[in-house]
Amino acid sequence: MKKEIKKDGKFKYIEIGEGTPIIILHGLMGGLSNFDGVANFFPEKGYKIVIPELPLYTMSLLKTSVGNFAKYIKEFIDHKQYKGVILLGNSLGGHIALLTTKLYPEIITGLVITGSSGLYESAMGESYPKRGDYEYIRKKAENVFYDPQVATKEIVDDVYETVNDRNKLIRTLAIAKSAIRHNMAKDLPRMHTPTCIIWGKQDNVTPPEVAEDFERLLPNANLYWIDKCGHAAMMEHPEEFNELLYKWLVNRKL
């Protein structure tokens, strides 16, 4: 089902349902549709699902950094006057969610990360292909998932278009560099927000030991595994992802 993208000032976002807001942050190559499974499930459970479009390719190049995306999310939350927000991020979106939670812990009541960057240096460099032929990009895209069939032609076309668009490529590389600079290993032990870590056992981009490091370093975290699953658990196994997350939210009374 096609979700309506709302425009409000400088913000573009999808908003579905009523209740506690779960704000979903997509990754660098991740479209808003990657979260269809989550967006269809949680509104019926009393949550408002909000998926803002991150200004990855529209922010001025000098400002294109993980830190400025975190500020953008804070502005968005203030603008919408959301209270008791839960942040859910995949890949780069997880990194932005972590940094937002570190900077503004008073407005975030729960954090959910899956295949997140923030600890693992090569996560960014490896998974965002430089320019290349279509076949190379298709293989790269398939490598993100356990089941290569998940990398539909639409997804591959999208990545191909991004890496062959000079403006997008320059920004993609700027974001990747910023993510590597923003390693969060020192910050995590001071972050007490309840955190749910859901990870694919066969994630090639941010391998399973990265999830274990997140769990070890975050004082208030629970780690859950999904088998036969790569870097984007909410796309490959939406039902299992939703069940794990919903149980965690209920247990944590969030």
- Full DSSP string of 155-192: HHHHHHHHHTSHHHHHHHHHHHHHHHHT--TTTGGG--
Note the pLDDT of residue 136: 87
pLDDT at 127 over 60: no
Instruction: Look up residue 16 and give its DSSP letter.
Output: E
pLDDT at position 242 over 70: yes
Other CB atoms within a 10 A radius of the CB of residue 41 amount to: 18
Cα(84)–Cα(98) distance, rounded to whole angstroms?
A: 16
Lowest mean pLDDT among 64-68, 135-139, 207-211, 218-222: 135-139
More confidently predicted of 98 and 139: 98
Per-residue pLDDT of 147-165, as tens digits, reads: 999 999 998 998 888 888 8
Say what the pLDDT of residue 122 is.
Answer: 58
Which of these, 115, 104, 128, lies nearest to 214 by C-alpha position? Answer: 115
The pLDDT score that the predictor gives to residue 159 is 86
Exposure class string for 171-183: b at 16+ Cβ within 10 A, else e: bbbbbbebbbebe
Supply 2's token pair. 């096609």
Q: Residue 228 phi/psi, 5° resolution? A: 55, 50
Rounded (10°) angle between helices 166-181 and 92-103: 50
Between β-strands 20-25 and 108-114, what pairing exists: parallel, antiparallel or unpaired?
Answer: unpaired
pLDDT at 2 (0 to 100): 61
Q: What percent of the chain has pLDDT over 70?
A: 93
H/E stretch holding 111: strand 108-114
Predicted pLDDT at 203: 95
Task: Encode pLDDT of 80-108 as tens digits.
Answer: 999 999 999 999 999 999 999 999 999 99
Rounded to an integer, what distance in angstroms lies between the CA atom of residue 10 and that of residue 141?
31
pLDDT score recorded for residue 94: 96
* DSSP-derived secondary structure letter, 149: G
Question: What does the block give as tokens for 25?
Answer: 């942050």
pLDDT in tens, 189-234: 999 999 999 999 999 989 999 999 999 999 999 999 999 999 999 9
DSSP string covering 35-72, please?
Answer: GHHHHHHGGGGTEEEEEEPP-TTTS-GGG-SHHHHHHH
What does the block give as tokens for 205?
A: 């981009």
Q: What is the pLDDT of residue 48?
A: 97
- For residue 179, give Cα distances in angstroms to 53, 65, 121, 123, 250: 18, 7, 8, 9, 32
Give the separation between CA 78 and CA 237, rounded to whole angstroms.
Answer: 32
Let me know: does 21 contact 79? Beta carbons within 8 Å: no
Band of residue 70 on the pLDDT scale cut at 50, 70, 90: very high
